A and B are shown apart, each in its own frame.
Chain A
Amino acid sequence: MLSSIKFGLVITISFIFAIMLTLLPLPGWTVWLKPAWVMLVLFYWVLVMPDKVNVTVAWIVGLMVDVVSGTFLGAHAFAMVILAYFIYKLHRRMRVFPLLQQTLTVLGFMLVYQLIIFTIQGIGGDLPHTWLFWLAPLTSALFWPWVSWLLQDIQERLALHV
């Protein structure tokens, strides 16, 4: 019981940090490079604890991202639920991937994520007029090793196990 409270707390704090990173004011040239922090953190938690963090958490977190980023309510929730579901489906295989292969898988997932957001934005009418939009999945994937390493470290220090 106690461990499940601790677990919920760690998850919540990790998502709050991810949202704060998303909000962080950065110099102008980085706008298109900003990684999808929240999606990265969600990816990690679904991968290691698929029975606790899955589509429900993805939906709630996605809604918060929609509020933060000013997109249509439900846009990021939609994308995150789809991704969380497929990460859940593939978590057994992805867990044993070597780091490089895992990073490439993350890149693939992030491209799908960006594509979903792109499509929804397109239906709403505001599309980015530049190819730089597709750089964000790349930076997200580049940050994957660090994010997963950091979260794993925290998890081990606090002795949170599935």
Chain B
Amino acid sequence: MSIFKRRSLLGLWALVLIVFAMLLMYFDQQTNDLNRVRASLAMLITPLEYAVNLPVSALDWLSGGLTSRHTLLQQNKKLQTQLLLLQAKMQSLLLLEKENRDLRALLQSSKHVANKAVVAQIIATATDPFVHQITLNKGRKAGVYVGQPVIDASGIIGQVIHVSMFTARVLLLSAPRSAVPVIDNRSGIRAITIGTGTGDQLQLLHVAKTSDIKVGDELVTSGLGGRYPEDYPVAVVNKVQMLPGQAFAMITATPTAHLNEGRMLLLIWPTPKLEHKKRIG
């Protein structure tokens, strides 16, 4: 340090550091070469993230321990009824699935059905609100990979963008950098949603004014990007505007998943579509 006591040298050194920072930014934006650097730096941060999360999880644990027997029994009963109902529904679903598979076999096409899924916990949310990222407590050790879809009970949450040994960063649907290929469940119109950065609004890109998309339409993943598996709910259209001056319709939608709530999410491993390849080849 002492050699930089002289001011002229400090200015020069600052310039070198600035140029170095700019180079880093350039490579981080343009290439994936820095992912390993980021992953190893994230390892240093991981204990801090867990430490900060400790009071929160301690509180969870404490409130769990202090719940009365009565409440627990009630909850248990409620859950059992719910389970029974879901199992009943499941039976018909299994039948449908089998039927669907048979029909698809007849048509010689294939669609993913079963996915491997793992429950992950959110341990941190991004500090800059417009970055729209969350950190999960599952990393490369659990088999998480970059580009992996993340869902919750009601829809798509986003995709994994960085993986370190024990944690993974997820880019939420609502980030301006996040785009999801979707299809309108009612009319079959394809579109792409992008985040607006406001948390609960998605925008549909380049939809022709004549397209048949109405308020209340459900948008599900089309699976065209190859990232997200097909037919997971993404958003519900909440506003359709045809502005005379604009070339495309202005359509916004509300995500069905609870992007800003909850602590548990599902990481899914979509089954590779082997048969598709066979068909093409």
**Hey, which bits of chain A sit against chain B, CB under 8 A?**
16, 19-20, 22-25, 28, 31-32, 34, 51-52, 54-56, 58-59, 62-64, 67-75, 77-78, 81-82, 84-85, 88, 117, 120-121, 124-130, 133
Measured CA separation A142–B13 after assembly (Å): 32
Measured between beta carbons, the chain B residues less than 8 angstroms from A82 are 14, 18
Q: Is the CB of B177 within 8 A of A125?
A: yes
Measured CA separation A2–B4 after assembly (Å): 22
Measured between beta carbons, the chain A residues less than 8 angstroms from B126 are 69-70
Q: Can you name 18 A-B residue pairings with CB atoms under 8 Å? A: A20-B48, A20-B52, A34-B127, A34-B129, A51-B1, A63-B24, A67-B42, A67-B45, A69-B127, A70-B169, A74-B20, A74-B22, A75-B25, A77-B24, A85-B11, A88-B10, A121-B130, A130-B198
Measured between beta carbons, the chain A residues less than 8 angstroms from B49 are 23
Q: Is the CB of A68 within 8 A of B131?
A: no
Q: Which of A16, A52, A81, A88 has the largest number of chain B CB atoms within 10 A?
A: A81
Q: Is the CB of B25 within 8 A of A120?
A: yes
Measured CA separation A130–B131 after assembly (Å): 13
Measured CA separation A130–B24 after assembly (Å): 28
Measured between beta carbons, the chain A residues less than 8 angstroms from B260 are 28
Q: Give chain B interface residues in 4-61, CB to chain A under 8 Å.
A: 4-5, 10-11, 13-14, 17-18, 20-25, 28-29, 34, 37-38, 41-42, 44-45, 48-49, 51-53, 56
CB-contact partner of B131 in A28, A71, A85, under 8 A: A71
Nearest opposing residue in chain B for A55, CB measure: B14
Q: Is the CB of B10 within 8 A of A67?
A: no
Measured between beta carbons, the chain A residues less than 8 angstroms from B130 are 121, 126-129, 133
Q: A23-B124, A70-B128, A74-B28 are in contact. Are A129 and B197 (CB under 8 A)?
A: yes
Measured CA separation A133–B51 after assembly (Å): 28
6 further contact pairs, Cβ within 8 A, besides A55-B10, A78-B25, A126-B197: A63-B24, A64-B45, A72-B25, A78-B21, A121-B130, A126-B177
Chain B: minimal CB distance from A36 (Å): 9
Measured CA separation A67–B24 after assembly (Å): 12
Q: Does B156 sit at the interface, judged by CB under 8 A? A: no
Q: Is the CB of A62 within 8 A of B21?
A: yes
Measured CA separation A70–B129 after assembly (Å): 10
Q: Is the CB of B48 within 8 A of A19?
A: yes
Could you tell me the dominant secondary structure of chain A's interface residues? helix
Could you tell me the dominant secondary structure of chain B's interface residues? helix
Q: Does B222 sit at the interface, judged by CB under 8 A? A: no
Chain A: minimal CB distance from B117 (Å): 24
Measured between beta carbons, the chain A residues less than 8 angstroms from B198 are 129-130
Chain B: minimal CB distance from A45 (Å): 13
Q: Is the CB of A20 within 8 A of B51?
A: yes
Chain B: minimal CB distance from A122 (Å): 11
Measured CA separation A124–B132 after assembly (Å): 14
Q: Is the CB of B41 within 8 A of A69?
A: no
Measured between beta carbons, the chain A residues less than 8 angstroms from B162 are 70
Q: Does B196 sit at the interface, judged by CB under 8 A? A: yes
Measured CA separation A104–B184 after assembly (Å): 53
CB-contact partner of B28 in A19, A51, A72, under 8 A: A72
Measured CA separation A23–B48 after assembly (Å): 8
Q: A51-B1, A127-B197 are in contact. Are A31 and B23 (CB under 8 A)?
A: no
Chain A: minimal CB distance from B8 (Å): 12
Q: Give chain B interface residues in 213-254, CB to chain A under 8 Å.
A: none
Q: Does B158 sit at the interface, judged by CB under 8 A? A: no
Measured between beta carbons, the chain B residues less than 8 angstroms from A73 are 24-25, 28, 34, 37-38
Q: Is the CB of A128 within 8 A of B52?
A: no
Q: Is the CB of B45 within 8 A of A85?
A: no
Q: Is the CB of A64 within 8 A of B25?
A: no
Q: Is the CB of A23 within 8 A of B21?
A: no
Nearest opposing residue in chain B for A62, CB measure: B21
